[in-house]
């Protein structure tokens, strides 16, 4: 009898430890904005696309898979005349004395652009997956949140707004709602996707920037600012990011198979 009770006690304790481990692994702790900025910055890039000999358009992107050297941005960031550009380059943050260099003039004089190719482009979701030949040693990938955020959650992002005199700009906001939306851009691009609507004041150049939760997990990709409303910004939701990543993995597998033949 005592032996049975002992075995039962061990079983209950084992189950309790198992479930506590599961919850501990899924419950991500909130981080301070300063720490979030530093972590997200390590994954963020400036995306540049030459449109003509005199003009270059730019946006933001972020590392999603360090092993495969994959980055994500908006489709409209790398689009030229409605198609994915062949000539894309990215610039990673530079650091001096442990602090990020935020002056645009530094990057204009010391361009360290890395060529990138578009692996997958999805205009309907306004997402594109890029692959670069190399990543800096300090670059890290962002983890995807397990689910969409809830209204009222705080959100954070790091981008490169063209209106700012600086780069790698931090923005704090609040999630308003998450829903399937249909948005037509001024260029005529029609986007149907699950979007995270926020009060984050994003600007042109912030497109493609990572939107993360208080734990630093990716919840969306900043994509659209409604100029006819007050503080209504839209990010392509993490559920859509997962779908485009599946397409990217398939594309890479086909490419690998073709190269072996």
Ranges of residues in the chain whose predicted pLDDT is under 50 = 1-26
Q: What's the pLDDT at 27?
A: 53
Task: Let me know whether 38 and 122 are in one domain.
Answer: yes
Quote the number of domains for the chain.
2
Reported pTM: 0.86
- How far apart are alpha carbons 19 and 236 in whole angstroms? 33
- How far apart are alpha carbons 176 and 178 in whole angstroms? 7
Task: Let me know whether 164 and 123 are in one domain.
Answer: no
In a domain, 25, yes or no: no
Task: Let me know whether 223 and 158 are in one domain.
Answer: yes
In a domain, 8, yes or no: no
Contact 40, 189 (CB under 8 A): no
Secondary structure in 3-state letters for 145-196: CCCCCCCCCEEEEEECCCCCCECCEEEEEEEEEEEEEEEECCCCCEEEEEEE
In a domain, 195, yes or no: yes
In a domain, 65, yes or no: yes
In a domain, 139, yes or no: no
Task: Let me know whether 83 and 128 are in one domain.
Answer: yes
Contact 166, 234 (CB under 8 A): no
Q: CA-CA distances (angstroms) from residue 99 to 61, 64, 111, 223?
A: 20, 23, 18, 28
- Those residues with Cβ within 8 angstroms of residue 57's Cβ, 6 or more apart along the chain or in another chain: 48, 49, 51, 77
In a domain, 162, yes or no: yes
- How far apart are alpha carbons 93 and 185 in whole angstroms? 29
In a domain, 21, yes or no: no
Q: Which parts of the chain are beta strand (E)? A: 44-50, 56-65, 70-73, 79-80, 83-84, 88-91, 95-96, 99-100, 114-122, 127-132, 154-159, 169-184, 190-198, 210-212, 218-225, 233-237
Task: Let me know whether 72 and 159 are in one domain.
Answer: no
Task: Let me know whether 171 and 114 are in one domain.
Answer: no
CATH number of the structural domain spanning residue 179: 2.40.10.10
Task: Let me know whether 190 and 228 are in one domain.
Answer: yes
Q: What's the pLDDT at 24?
A: 34
Q: What's the pLDDT at 261?
A: 67
pLDDT 10s digits, 216-239: 999 999 999 887 777 899 999 999
Task: Let me know whether 161 and 127 are in one domain.
Answer: no
Q: What's the pLDDT at 123?
A: 98
- For residue 38, give its domain range: 33-132
In a domain, 13, yes or no: no
Placement of tokens 């997958």 in the chain: 120
């Amino acid at each position: 009898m005592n032996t049975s009770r002992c075995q039962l006690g061990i079983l209950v304790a084992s189950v309790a430890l198992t479930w506590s481990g599961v919850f501990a692994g899924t419950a991500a702790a909130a981080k301070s904005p300063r720490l979030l900025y530093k972590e997200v910055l390590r994954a963020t890039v400036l995306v540049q696309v030459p449109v003509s000999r005199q003009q270059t358009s730019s946006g933001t992107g972020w590392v999603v898979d360090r092993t495969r050297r994959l980055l994500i941005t908006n489709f409209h960031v790398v689009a030229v005349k409605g198609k994915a550009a062949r000539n894309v380059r990215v610039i990673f943050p530079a650091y001096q004395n442990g602090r990020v260099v935020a002056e645009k003039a530094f990057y204009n004089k010391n361009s360290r652009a890395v060529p990138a190719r578009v692996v997958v482009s999805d205009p309907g979701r306004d997402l594109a997956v890029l692959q670069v030949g190399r990543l800096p040693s300090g670059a890290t990938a962002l983890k995807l949140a397990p689910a969409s955020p809830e209204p009222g959650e705080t959100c954070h992002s790091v981008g490169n707004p063209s209106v700012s005199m600086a780069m790698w700009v931090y923005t704090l906001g609040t999630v308003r709602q998450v829903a399937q939306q249909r948005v037509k851009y001024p260029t005529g691009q029609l986007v149907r996707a699950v979007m995270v609507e926020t009060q984050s004041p994003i600007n042109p150049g912030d497109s493609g920037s990572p939107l993360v939760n208080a734990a630093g997990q990716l919840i969306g990709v900043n994509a659209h600012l409604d100029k006819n409303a007050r503080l209504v910004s839209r990010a392509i939701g993490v559920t859509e990011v997962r779908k485009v990543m599946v397409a990217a993995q398939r594309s890479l597998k086909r490419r690998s198979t073709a190269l072996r033949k």
